[in-house]
Copies of this chain bind each other. A is one copy, B any other.
Amino acid sequence: MSGLRAKHRADRDSRILDAAAQLFREAGYEGAKIETIAAQAEVSVGTIYNYYRNKGDILVAIVSMEVNEVLNAGRRVVGNPPVNVRDAIDALIGIYIEHSLHYLSKEMWRQAMAISTQQPDSPFGQTYSALDSALTDQLRSLIGRLQQLELVRPEIDGRTVGELLFNNMNMMFIEFVKRDAAQMAELRAALRRQNSILVAAIAK
């Protein structure tokens, strides 16, 4: 396996992703026809299906890039959290929520979530699940960090709390992207209200 073949592959792949990202944003997921993506990426329809199992997989590849950026940003918060349970959790969740619509529209999120539910065993369905796990794990890390800082009671099971925080946040985020009119500020306020119950249960 040499350079030329690999280079062509990488070129085509990035052209497909760029074309798809642009068209998804401009025309929406349904509105972006595979034929149009192929034309803009200067490849044939068949080639796209050589790179991606189906249209949804292209979207999930784009979503993955965004979530990975979010995870990186989150890592910085976990490394140096606010010294207060409520604020620390709010800061990390704030990172997730605020970054989420940077490159992706609500419609793209809806489609990506739907596809990951519909095809959990496809390569990208698995990727999506892995990203969810990574976020849950990062929340667990934060709780662990807060235990080190003696802000959270030591007998609390960080994994369980991480799951509760993530699951609640994710469902709220799903509802948020389902309603185009929903405002981010309201989402964050609701999450603070909900998380305060958990904070009360775990804070020292």
Hey, which bits of chain A sit against chain B, CB under 8 A? 110-111, 113-115, 117-118, 120, 125, 129, 156-157, 160-161, 163-164, 166-168, 170-172, 174-175, 178-179, 190, 193-194, 197-198, 200-202
Closest 8 CB pairs of A and B: A201-B201, A167-B171, A120-B178, A114-B114, A114-B118, A167-B168, A114-B117, A113-B117
Q: Which residue of B lies closest to A193 (CB)?
A: B160
Compute how far the CA of A113 lies from the CA of B201 in the bound complex, rounded to whole angstroms: 31
Compute how far the CA of A175 lies from the CA of B168 in the bound complex, rounded to whole angstroms: 14
Compute how far the CA of A174 lies from the CA of B120 in the bound complex, rounded to whole angstroms: 10
When all copies of this chain in the complex are counted, the total is 2
Q: Which of B111, B120, B179, B201 contacts A200 (CB 8 A)?
A: B201
Q: Which residue of B lies closest to A202 (CB)?
A: B197
A168/B163 in contact, CB under 8 A? yes
Q: Which of A110, A113, A118, A175 has the most CB of B within 10 A?
A: A118
Residues of chain B within 8 A of A114, CB atoms compared: 113-115, 117-118
Compute how far the CA of A22 lies from the CA of B38 in the bound complex, rounded to whole angstroms: 39
A111/B120 in contact, CB under 8 A? no
